[in-house]
Structure 1
Amino acid sequence: MSGRPETLFPLFAGLETLEGVGPKTARLLEQLDITSPRDLLFSLPYAVVDRRRRETIQGADLPQTLTVEVTVGAHRPPRNRGGAYRIHVEDSQADFQLVYFHARSDYLAKLLPVGARRVVSGKLELFDGMAQMVHPDHALPVDEADDIPEFEPVYHLTQGVSQKVMFKAIQGALTRVPDLAEWIDPTQVLKENWPDWADAMRTAHHPEAMDDLSPNAPARARLAYDELMAHQLTLALARLRERKARGMVSIGSGWLRGKVLEALPYRPTGAQLRAMEEIAADMASEARMNRLLQGDVGSGKTLVAFFALLVAVEAGGQGVMMAPTEILARQHMEGLHPLAEEAGVVLEILTGRDKGAERRAKLAALAAGKIQILVGTHAVFQSDVEFSDLRLAIIDEQHRFGVRQRMELSDKGVAADVLVMTATPIPRSLSLAQYGDMDVSVLDEKPPGRKPIRTAIIGTDRMDEVIDHLRRAVAEGRQCYWVCPLVEESEVVDLTSAEDRFKRLRAVLGDGVVGLVHGQMPGAEKDAAMAAFQSGETSVLVATTVIEVGVNVPNATIMVIERAETFGLAQLHQLRGRVGRGEGASTCLLMYQAPLSEGGRRRLEVLRETEDGFRIAETDLEMRGAGDLIGTAQSGLPRFRIADLERQANLMAIAQSDARALLDKDPALTSDRGKAARVLLWLMKQDQAIRLISVG
């Protein structure tokens, strides 16, 4: 796969090779991320203006854009500087005015000579009972009027680039569109009635009605699919490489898992058992496991993860579980400890805090294979950490752990199987975009014994009632989280800071009852406050969102979220999941400040109606869009120019199976369709994929 195919050269030439694009325009277009004719083609119009010619403006609904042939009448220059220059014009049945500001009269006299016939096109509006067109978009002699397109596409612009310049540049780029061989499965093309790539490109840039701009219009859907397909091909190639990199075969005897199952007070859910089987089968195969374990808050991921670690131990090896923060690593340690006791396996923790002799002793035990399961932070990947026989790496809750990091893990010579766990339910289309190279196990049932959480929506004007309710609960020995919007840094002064709330609750509930945790505190203080709450020493923990992920206090049964309307849906769902972990019935109070926006109200209502994280995530995606949902900057989520993940989620799934099927039949992409797919990868600038083919 040497270099870019020749057919694509014209599309990747400099912008200045296009007619009407000089160095200045080229520099301005760079601000829109447009550096070649190819990028212009992928900047589709977002609107269309109907400029079909009419006989007269008579009877038109104003304001609207109209195109009509007129006779030019009298010119009325402005009386004072900066005033309006007016020109009277008449069509076959009615008259109106053309209005210009800051225009030179000699220029207008030449453009619109009195008595001449002209075709004008622009937005006509009523002003003081008179129809007027301010700065027409076009004013041309009748014999040149064919230059005005009947339907004019409207493009996103940047300062200094006009619609006219953009339109012309794109028309130029369209003359370079080559005919390319088809890379999409022919049955898919037939079923959807999609045009080929070149036709789709031409059609998308010549919309004739608003419907042509819809993501479902055949030309647009096809171009979106091309983007998704290229992305999924890249992920599938990465997956192929990962699977080819021989993994370790870890076949467990099952006896450790049997001991733990017997000791469990309940039976695992069907979803848990299914996931355990899928993982064990992956670990037993020669290909390297690359699986995502996706489970909502409280769906029992820890048990599934522990069973995977036990397979590694039963097979005579070691397993490691990595968490993003020290607090979470300690929590995993606490969660796994009783299970490890039942199984009789050696479990240790390694974090940045381990220093000196203690650290050296742990490293020696690890290298000798005496520690069977290690829990830790990223510290477990430092160069002096050596395992005796590492077979499984579990990575917890990492949006920040993208394809690239997973590859680095394998570059460490760790042929270990990899399981990534996430507690954030991700809608299917997004999980395919982000984790498309992985196989996915979903935990979508709640284990027995988890009670539903009652969720109520309350205005901040009822604060006194809430505090009163809290006082009674604390007297009964219950614990409560009180989540505030972010601390003082926020410019918005009216967001109550955690400090103030802490003081007010302490005044009402008494000293030593209320703890405080926020992002500005030093780590040790934060840990101390968390520990005091976990041990039940304090009954109320006032916190900013640092408690979102993973903190486990079974006795906490009340969650108050202040100014809930300022949080995202997924965040609210994660916060609510901090309660309802013990015996007691739990409540979540969402406090909002009136008036609520439409979106704010809908978010709170969705939470009140359901505890299903996947349903919540789908709603979140509809409401916010994909980029916001995971914070595009740090999510490793690709940025698509045409595809719309919210509205075209179904296409992503088809693209994934199509890409995998193509590579199953033709892993080196040497068949006709394979070669076409290579061209697609070049066209979509998927350099990473192209490298993978050339190495593979």
Structure 2
Amino acid sequence: MSTRPEVLFPLFATLTSLDGVGPKTAAALEHAGIATPRDLLFTLPNSGIDRTRYDTVQGLETAAMVTVEVEVLRHMPAPTRGRPYRIEVRDAAVVFQLIFFHARGDYLERQMPVGARRVVSGKLEHFDSMAQIVHPDHILPLEDAAAIPGFEPVYPLTAGLTQRTMHKAAASVLSLAPELAEWIDPGLVSREGWPDWRSALTQAHAPTSQGDLAATTPARQRLAYDELLAHQLTLALARVDRRKKRGRITRGDGRYKSRVLKSLPYQPTAAQVRAIDEIAADMASDTRMNRLLQGDVGSGKTLVALMALLVAVEAGGQGVMMAPTEILARQHVEGLQPLAEAAGVVLELLTGRDKGAERAAKLAALAAGQIGILVGTHAVFQKDVAFHDLRLAVVDEQHRFGVRQRLELGAKGTRADVLVMTATPIPRSLALTQYGDMDVSILDEKPPGRTPVKTALVNIGRVDEVVDSLRTAVASGRQAYWVCPLVEESETVDLTSAEQRFKTLRSALGDGVVGLVHGQMPPAEKDAAMARFVAGETGVLVATTVIEVGVNVPNASIMVVERAESFGLAQLHQLRGRVGRGSAASTCVLLYRAPLNETGRRRLEIMRQTEDGFRIAEEDLAIRGAGDLIGHAQSGLPRFRIADLERQAALMEVAQRDARALLTQDPGLTGARGQAARHLLWLMEQDKAIRLLSVG
């Protein structure tokens, strides 16, 4: 069934097929991201107005929403231009006024003839102790008053749309929604007390109180689950599809790995051993590995990656490790070279800087199989880079590489295994959303030798004290980072620039003690400044966030972050991870400007309380939301209309289990529930998944 089922046709028709939607309204809806009746069906009210009926407005608070029956007493047209038109009315107890600006008197006289009874609804105000309603939302004869709901749903709007239009269109699309067979596991539906799909939609579009708008109501929870289930089914189908593609059995004999372990001055952590075993088992199977290695700053991912690369070399093949920047690629080589030498394995670096004869020699050695492990930047994608027998590709810092590059890299080797490493702890719900098609290994322990970092919050007013203690630390041979938020003075954003801070610290600490790196420097200058700091020639490095990812200077034990409240939690956590890499006790000073807003205070407090990157990531998700956490542009996150990743993370896990279980029982989705699940995939526009099914 690779064409959309007929029962869903009305939901994918034109918007103008709905009541009250003409070409102009359709254009306004499309501008709001609503292109089909189906999109409108999943655009739920986001608030509501209580229109409870009262006998009288007497004694009610200003700004209360009132719905009341009145008798029209007299019309008082505007005495002069710009003054309002007033109508005096009486309810069961008091006389008050309805106010209209720029009104047409003849229209109002027809609407509300003197002596007539009407039901009016609007916001109550008091002016000169007289109660009044300015421009009532509803004015209806008694026989039509039932059309005013006790609780009126309010839809999200953009220019050119009114609530009335939305109500009419929503009622129309609900009448088109077909009865569909149940695609959710029946046990789950009854355990959660969820309504069926059509009832859930009807209830969600017709809330009867503020409580009905909560994401936790059975109707809304069920609709959110439908979205998550469709997404997880798509990922699970992609996973099944990938597993059908034969991998290669890559089994090591342990000879290189054991030499490396002997040369280490410490024992790997239990988490590292577990991850190494999981990866080796994947490589030894005949399906292609697609695994995510998630580890906090300093949890020892590089050793795990090297052990995996050595399995490839032990099996007579090659491995490649890719980093997003040249600085990181060089750092990996510095860290890995001594271990590779201990094992007796040839490891080489390939970057965009390799030119001419040197590059040609490296490529020839690679093609001949003389290089066991290649480390590089995206330069390894170039056409002329050919491996003798590529078995494993390791990609560092996943969020800089798209899925497309992962595939290109895999294509360099015949059926190569892929291991993706990320140093950014991702909350479980987001990991499932972004990498739900991958298997995950987590490093949740720090290797021995990593010293805990003490975190202090200091008001920027005390900056001189910080500089004084820095002077003492540098004199005793310690090194420090000083991170500034912006590079240049900007009038709009009052943040101290790196240039300014560099000058003040240089005059306080002396020439030659302070170095500077920022994003606008030429690469060669930046590398030279970093190299001087790594070599210990400069004691303090003033930097913008260019140092966030990956730099490793074990002697640096102090991190000062200026205007810390303007950074995100994940960034602060990454920056703090730059210190605590040596044996010296390390400190992270978060300089903030008072008064802090609620979010700023919460962020800094979390930093002070914990060094656990996963807990920090969960908090960051709660504060910022999913899109911001990964950056909307490259987040690759699906756009859910109803599901809320921050608040419904637990549902995502249930959806993943449910999707995988369904495909295990019914791989072709041909059974009764499988057929219903196909409807769900069409409904959620998961055409990619449908194609995988039709191929399979």
Q: TM-score, normalised by structure 1?
A: 0.98
Deviation, structure 1 residue 574: 0.3
Pair 1:481 & 2:481 matched: yes
Distance, in Å, in 1 between the alignment partners of 2:689 and 2:137 is 45
Output one character per residue of 1:124-156: Cα deviation in whole Å (capped at 9) or x when no partner: 222332221111111011122222223211010
Give the stretch that moved more between structures: 376-385 or 143-152: 143-152
Residue number in structure 2 paired with 1:592: 592
Which stretches of structure 1, 4 residues or longer, exceed 6 Å deviation after superposition?
none
Distance, in Å, in 2 between the alignment partners of 1:194 and 1:562 is 50
Output one character per residue of 1:635-683: Cα deviation in whole Å (capped at 9) or x when no partner: 1111111001111000000101111111122222111111111111111
CA contact under 8 A between 1:402 and 1:635: conserved in structure 2? no
Letter in 2 for 1:672: A
Distance, in Å, in 2 between the alignment partners of 1:57 and 1:77 is 23
Distance 1:212-1:405 versus aligned 2 partners, 3 A rule: farther
CA contact under 8 A between 1:403 and 1:435: conserved in structure 2? no
Residue number in structure 2 paired with 1:450: 450
Give the stretch that moved more between structures: 314-323 or 73-82: 73-82
Residue number in structure 2 paired with 1:186: 186
Residue number in structure 1 paired with 2:93: 93
Pair 1:459 & 2:447 matched: no
Distance 1:686-1:403 versus aligned 2 partners, 3 A rule: farther
Distance, in Å, in 1 between the alignment partners of 2:570 and 2:373 is 32
Deviation, structure 1 residue 493: 4.0
Residue number in structure 1 paired with 2:64: 64
3-state SS of 1:399 partner: helix
CA contact under 8 A between 1:297 and 1:577: conserved in structure 2? yes
Distance, in Å, in 2 between the alignment partners of 1:61 and 1:104 is 30
CA contact under 8 A between 2:395 and 2:419: conserved in structure 1? yes
Residue number in structure 2 paired with 1:267: 267
Query: Between the two proteins, what is the percent identity of the paired residues?
Result: 72
Distance 1:411-1:32 versus aligned 2 partners, 3 A rule: farther
Residue number in structure 1 paired with 2:243: 243
Output one character per residue of 1:411-470: Cα deviation in whole Å (capped at 9) or x when no partner: 556411111100111111111111111111110011111111011000111111111111
Residue number in structure 1 paired with 2:36: 36
Residue number in structure 2 paired with 1:359: 359
Residue number in structure 1 paired with 2:579: 579
CA contact under 8 A between 1:249 and 1:285: conserved in structure 2? yes
Distance, in Å, in 1 between the alignment partners of 2:650 and 2:357 is 55
Letter in 2 for 1:51: R
Output one character per residue of 1:375-424: Cα deviation in whole Å (capped at 9) or x when no partner: 00111111111111111101001214344443444455641111110011
Residue number in structure 1 paired with 2:325: 325
Output one character per residue of 1:181-226: Cα deviation in whole Å (capped at 9) or x when no partner: 1111111111101111111111100011111111110000000001
Give the 5 Å matches for 1:54-453.
Answer: 54-410=54-410, 414-453=414-453
Residue number in structure 1 paired with 2:19: 19
Deviation, structure 1 residue 64: 1.8
Give the stretch that moved more between structures: 412-421 or 129-138: 412-421
Distance, in Å, in 2 between the alignment partners of 1:489 and 1:441 is 44
CA contact under 8 A between 1:329 and 1:376: conserved in structure 2? yes
Output one character per residue of 1:590-644: Cα deviation in whole Å (capped at 9) or x when no partner: 0001111111111111101110111111111111111111112211111111001
Letter in 2 for 1:291: R
Distance, in Å, in 2 between the alignment partners of 1:429 and 1:590 is 29
CA contact under 8 A between 2:246 and 2:286: conserved in structure 1? yes
Distance, in Å, in 2 between the alignment partners of 1:400 and 1:547 is 16
Distance, in Å, in 2 between the alignment partners of 1:408 and 1:369 is 20
Q: Which runs of 5+ in 1 are unaligned?
A: none
Distance, in Å, in 2 between the alignment partners of 1:184 and 1:493 is 51
Letter in 2 for 1:396: D
Distance 1:404-1:219 versus aligned 2 partners, 3 A rule: farther
Residue number in structure 2 paired with 1:559: 559
3-state SS of 1:587 partner: strand
3-state SS of 1:211 partner: helix
CA contact under 8 A between 1:82 and 1:102: conserved in structure 2? yes
Deviation, structure 1 residue 304: 0.6
Distance, in Å, in 2 between the alignment partners of 1:369 and 1:415 is 17
Distance 1:412-1:228 versus aligned 2 partners, 3 A rule: farther
Output one character per residue of 1:9-40: Cα deviation in whole Å (capped at 9) or x when no partner: 00111010111101000001111100111111
User: How many pairs were matched up?
Assistant: 696
Letter in 2 for 1:570: A
Letter in 2 for 1:430: L
Give the 5 Å matches for 1:645-664.
Answer: 645-664=645-664
Letter in 2 for 1:275: A
Distance 1:232-1:401 versus aligned 2 partners, 3 A rule: farther
Letter in 2 for 1:619: E
Residue number in structure 2 paired with 1:628: 628
CA contact under 8 A between 1:400 and 1:635: conserved in structure 2? no
3-state SS of 1:58 partner: coil
Deviation, structure 1 residue 325: 0.6
CA contact under 8 A between 1:292 and 1:421: conserved in structure 2? yes
Deviation, structure 1 residue 234: 1.1
CA contact under 8 A between 1:559 and 1:587: conserved in structure 2? yes
Distance, in Å, in 2 between the alignment partners of 1:492 and 1:527 is 31
Distance, in Å, in 1 between the alignment partners of 2:13 and 2:408 is 34
Distance, in Å, in 1 between the alignment partners of 2:258 and 2:543 is 41
Letter in 2 for 1:582: G
Letter in 2 for 1:394: V
3-state SS of 2:398 partner: coil
CA contact under 8 A between 2:393 and 2:419: conserved in structure 1? yes
Distance 1:627-1:300 versus aligned 2 partners, 3 A rule: same
Distance, in Å, in 2 between the alignment partners of 1:152 and 1:516 is 59
Deviation, structure 1 residue 3: 1.1
Output one character per residue of 1:225-260: Cα deviation in whole Å (capped at 9) or x when no partner: 011111111111111111111111111111211111
Distance, in Å, in 2 between the alignment partners of 1:344 and 1:27 is 67
Pair 1:615 & 2:615 matched: yes
Letter in 2 for 1:368: A
CA RMSD of aligned residues (A): 1.3
